[in-house]
Amino acid sequence: MPFGLTNAPATFQRLMDIVLAGLKWQCCLVYIDDVVIFSPTFEQHIIDLEKVFQALRSANLTLKASKCQFCRREMRYLGHIITQNGIKPDPDLIKSVTNFPQPKKIKDVQSFLGLTGYYRRFIKDYSKIAEPLQQQLRNSQKGNHHLNWSRECTDAFETLKERLTNAPIMNTPNFEQPFILELDACEYGVGAVLTQEYEEKKYVIAYASRTLSTAERKYGATEREALAIVWATKHFRPYLEGNKIYVRSDCKALEWMRTAKDVTGRIARWAMKLSAYQIEEIRYRPGKLNANADSLSRNPLPDDIINRHEVSTIETAVNLWQNTNILKDIKEEQQADPKLKQIINFLETKSATYYNDKRNPHILVNGLLYKIKNSKKHYNQRIIGEKHLLVIPKTMQNRLLEWAHDHPTAGHGGQQKTLFRLTTRVYWESMRKDIFNYISACQACQQFKYNNAPTASPMQLHSVNEPWHTIGMDIMGPLPTTARQKRFLLVIVDYFTRWIELFPLNSITSIDITNILTNEIFSRYGLPKHIVSDNGPQFISNLFKNFCDALGIKQNLTANYHPQSNMTERVNRTLKPLIAIYAQQQPNSWDKEIQKLAYAIRTAVNETTGETPAFMMFGRDLRGPLDLLVGERTEEARVTTNEHVQIQEYKRNLINNLRYAYNIVKEHAEIEKLKQKAKYDRHTTDRRYTEGDLVWVAIPTGQIGENSIGGKLQPHYQGPCRLIKQLTPNTFTVLRINDNVQLGATNTDRLKPYFERNTTATVNDKTINERQRTTKNKNEGLMDDDLNIQNGKENNPSSSYALPQRRMSNRHHRVPIRYIEN
């Protein structure tokens, strides 16, 4: 890498990030060419060193031995001394401060403040002490570039050097304890002190302060205090996020901030930002007891010399890693496991280096048992050749699974991602099965993640053998209000003939619906045996139920949020674009065109029946404008003067036509239904649920509110729920267990199995195997615990990618069957 190029540091940093990917934040950190490796024990440190060396060797990078330091209890890093007790300034750099000559010009003041400002977190009241020097910089910004050195400047200069020489050691944060944020704000600045209190001691983590902008200085006292909380939580975010926080302030009015409601504007935005933190309490603290933050706010550090190159994220990562170390526990549990203890005893007593048990060689390193895996090419291409996998005893397996799946750094990964995380580091028998079972039973994944597997159940066929035996009903709307005050459209369809009736309405009460059925449907076509509808309030009211019972009509309600069970929904899908097309010029007059659209549907050939609804109803085609335009074929009628003969002949022809049409339609409809079922079932899963099963129930999109900000973070499933009663092969009555609320009739398309950890699944093993098989099919060839690539072939996405085939619709227009037969 040539020296002097502006992009050289960024390029080198990117190289090191790639080389040490997978090790950063786990056992090492890197800043350009400075690599620090940290470990909780000496034994683990040796293992971590080997990992880093192997990563550097694979990238053909070398280290200069004279510049390396190994196995240190404290070290210099980025101008700081890092120890197990905390962090302090580097004495070698402090010497340059103590030997700094008295400034002769403004540039010297800038250099001195820049040097001391880098360690401002170690100096209490830094801004107050440096105020005379900062005033010199402010004067230079106004055009006065002459240095007016005074006695106050000399005192500030010497005090800063003395304070930095005797700077205290800042404690590293203890993430097992809550944080205390001491705040204060004045008319020109805000200050904060991050502390912790435990073991009857108070530990200072860091100091911070800043000046207010011109606009911020116009805030009221309460708003400035609120700004201090928002700024301080953002400034100390690496420490505070995910931990309990107690806020102390000398503004009593600030206590409302945590529970404020109905706020707007700037305060509302601040409240939303604070909601991301676990603030347990905002307590008033008198100013005389809040001296730390008060002095910082009244002597803030100017924004132009705030140095953002903090090592707080380094401290955070180191302490988080230390809290997750479990090597000591693993070592103890290995000794307690009878099977592993036998192998350990063999390795300790025999002279053999390895414990060779056919295909399971082991090795003992610093008292820890490792399994040796040999692979010509591992799934992880950074690991080539022999590798050691830490053997995990049974009692520790769940803990490892939690860290590899539940922890934020694992992100609730899927089965293959979690499998990769573990199989490249640790080993135990039946690892793949345990991982799959653990993830399948993860309640957070089940409730929040989308279900990628097919959810629809196979199509259920329903046969109707006569006109007006079964009718479907649905209400479309609200639509634009017309001049006649019509806002809704009642759609009724006959399941056998596909004949539709459309009724614009201005209200959709149960009385309106029953009046339409009585006066317009039953008086023309007779009483049906079944009425299919959704769960609208008009159809589930007592009035409508009593109406159907009195007429001997069985009411069939579709499952909640599953309207596709009603044939009327298919008519609506055809009807909606037609209404939009013909009413786009005059949206408020759609009701005038609606009967013309009904005629169009009645005289069009139906895909399923192969006939027009009109011919199925009347045994003849309806004459239309097209017949008048092109003319129609007329057959010469037999001359007779007997009207009775004409009627009888028409009757015979009508009966023959309808009988022929009905027989053909039944046969044709059955064939089409089977075709539709075969096509539909290709994207379905045949799940078998029984009463008593535990399931998750999908929450309807409208209830989630996915278009809102908060709705995007809401769960997609509710539960666990229990199946109470089976209503149809694909419909159950569901009970939500947590609050004992019945969710009503629910289609199995909205269900997915509920799994519990350490218990058997609530459905048969076939469902579990299907889920695992679906995942395995995506990664064929990765069959053993090591995820070895079979036959030396890599999973190259580009080689397996193929352009999607063009999809052609299976639907095509047909002429009526009677014309084909004739």
- The predicted structure's pLDDT at residue 168: 63
Residue 440 DSSP class: H
pLDDT band at 382 (very low <50, low <70, confident <90, very high): very low
- Where residue 550 falls among pLDDT bands split at 50, 70, 90? very high
pLDDT at 316: 41
Rounded Cα distance between 263 and 256, Å, is: 11
d(CA 376, CA 354): 20
The first and second tokens of residue 682, run together, are 């290709």
CATH number, domain 470-602: 3.30.420.10
CA distance 642 to 257: 96
360 confidence band (pLDDT: 50, 70, 90): low
For residue 505, the number of C-alpha atoms closer than 13 Å in the C-beta half-sphere is 22
Mean pLDDT, rounded, for 522-542: 90
The per-residue pLDDT for range 383-412, each reduced to its tens digit, is: 455 678 889 999 888 888 888 888 777 778
* CATH class label, 89-165: alpha beta
User: What DSSP letter does each residue of 166-180 carry, written as one string?
Assistant: TPPPEEPP-TTS-EE
Q: Which of 124-133, 432-441, 749-758 has the highest mean pLDDT?
A: 432-441
CA quadruple 510, 514, 515, 521: dihedral positive or negative? positive
Q: Is the per-residue pLDDT at 782 higher than 50?
A: no
Confidence band of 300 (pLDDT split at 50, 70, 90)? low
pLDDT of residue 760: 38
Confidence class of residue 748 from pLDDT cuts 50, 70 and 90?
Answer: confident
- The per-residue pLDDT for range 271-298, each reduced to its tens digit, is 778 877 888 888 876 654 454 455 445 5
Least confident piece of the model among 63-72, 504-513, 773-782:
773-782
Reported as a single tens digit per residue, the pLDDT across 227-244 is 888 888 888 888 888 788
Residue 758 is predicted with a pLDDT of 60
- Distance, CA of 628 to CA of 754 (rounded, Å): 63
Q: Which residue has the tokens 């190259």?
A: 796
Of the chain, the percentage scoring pLDDT greater than 70 comes to 69
Rounded Cα–Cα distance for residues 747 and 729 (Å): 9
Could you give the CA distance from residue 629 to residue 632 in angstroms, rounded to a whole number? 9
Which fold would CATH assign to domain 326-441?
Answer: Endonuclease III; domain 1 (1.10.340)
Q: What is the pTM of this model?
A: 0.40
The pLDDT value given to residue 456 = 54
Name which residue leads in pLDDT, 104 or 56.
Answer: 56
Q: Once rounded to an integer, what is the mean pLDDT over residues 88-92?
A: 71
Alpha helices, H only, 604-698: 613-618, 625-630, 643-681
Cα 524 versus chain centre, distance: 54
Share the mean pLDDT of the chain. Answer: 74
Read off the pLDDT of residues 623-676 as tens digits, 9 standing for 90 and up: 887 777 776 555 555 555 566 666 677 667 767 777 766 676 666 666 666 666
Encoded tokens for 465: 């053998």
List % helix, strand, coil for the chain (3-state, nearest 5).
45, 20, 40
Q: Are 760 and 773 in contact (CB under 8 A)?
A: no
**Which residues face 34 on adjacent strands?**
31
Q: Quick one: which of 822, 817, 820, 816 has its CA closest to 603? A: 816
User: Three-state SS across 33-48?
Assistant: CEEEECCCCHHHHHHH
Higher pLDDT, 65 or 262: 65
How many CB atoms neighbour CB 86 within 10 A? 17
| Ranges 87-96, 152-161, 537-546: which has the least confidence | 87-96
Distance separating alpha carbons of residues 609 and 668, to the nearest angstrom: 6
pLDDT band at 350 (very low <50, low <70, confident <90, very high): low
CATH class of 172-321: alpha beta
Question: What pLDDT does residue 471 have?
Answer: 92
Query: What is the pLDDT averaged over residues 153-166?
Result: 80
pLDDT at 457 (0 to 100): 55
Comparing 457 with 569, which gets the higher pLDDT? 569
Residues 6+ apart with CB under 8 A from 14: none
Residue-wise over 446-467: b if at least 16 C-beta within 10 A, else e? bbeeeeeeebbbebeeeebeeb
